[in-house]
Amino acid sequence: MAILVTEQTRLVVQGITGREGTFHTLRNRDYGTTVVAGVTPGKGGSDVDGIPVFDTVADAVRETGANTSMVFVPPRFAADAMFEAADAGIGLIVCIAEGIPAHEMLAVYTYLRPRGIRLLGPNCPGALSPGRANVGIIPAQVFAQGGVGLVSRSGTLTYQIGAELAQSGLGNSTIVGIGGDPVVGTSFIDALELFEADEQTELIVIVGEIGGNEEEKAADYIAAHVTKPVFAYIAGFTAPPGKTMGHAGAIISGSAGTAAAKKEALEAKGVRVGTNPTEVAELVTAHVGR
């Protein structure tokens, strides 16, 4: 098995006719993802390399049975695009777009959550289930299929850890990028719950970063609900005090939110934490080889 994206994924891309939308849509399709439609208002009836384009998500769902949406529209239109996907019956929305105001994301979150609609992002690389489906911008060629579930606030660190695991002969069940904004649709806890229930996932790696308290909350959840081994890496051990980091969620208040505080919280709950991506891969490899 895998989580979130599988062979049953039927993808519609909102913003398919834009440069980035077209590029990544075709990469996802070439990987094997079932891309059934695109949406660009005013361009309904056209196509992108054989993929039909519709004016609305509702039209795309009705005509193609799409169940997953990837949002590649500009930030000022992204919130409305997610509302539209939800109203059309989409069950999983993957928002690649960045720069969406936090107050708009709060409105999206409170609209989607009670309806049981899963959201990844915004400002995330998407999700990849190696050998099954890729929805987003993750470079699938560096990952292998296997039993390690990987959830991360950072895209590039995820790629490095996944590549090092693959070089060690290990693979991933699913890689989930949750995004680094202050308001995101899927938390570490959400992903941990899914990985815990997934038969293919044998152990879990979480990649956090400085700022906020999501990793601390994940540590408490792991202690109470996760039976599988969990390993972690926290980006920012060498961040200078007061340094502004790239993600909007990387906000530190006093000692709260630092890499050291997060490492302490996780290790107190039995999670082994590496101080760099290579060390995390080595910890996982050593555990599997016991």
User: In this structure, are residues 89 and 65 in contact, taking their beta carbons and an 8 Å threshold?
Assistant: no
User: In this structure, are residues 37 and 90 in contact, taking their beta carbons and an 8 Å threshold?
Assistant: no
**Paired tokens of 210:** 């400085």
Residues 6+ apart with CB under 8 A from 129: 2, 3, 4, 5, 6, 173, 174, 175
Q: Please give the span between the terminal C-alpha atoms of the chain, in angstroms, as a whole number.
A: 24
Show which residues are catalytic.
247
**How many residues comprise the chain?**
290
Torsion, CA 90, CA 146, CA 139, CA 151, rounded to 10: 60
> Helices 75-87 and 57-64 sit at what angle, rounded to 10 degrees?
40
Q: Give the CA distances from residue 123 to residues 74, 105, 178, 186, in Å, rounded to whole numbers and listed in that order.
A: 12, 11, 8, 12
Q: In the chain, at which residue ranges do the beta strands (DSSP E only) sit?
A: 10-14, 34-39, 47-48, 51-54, 68-71, 92-95, 118-120, 126-129, 133-136, 145-152, 172-177, 203-209, 230-235, 272-274
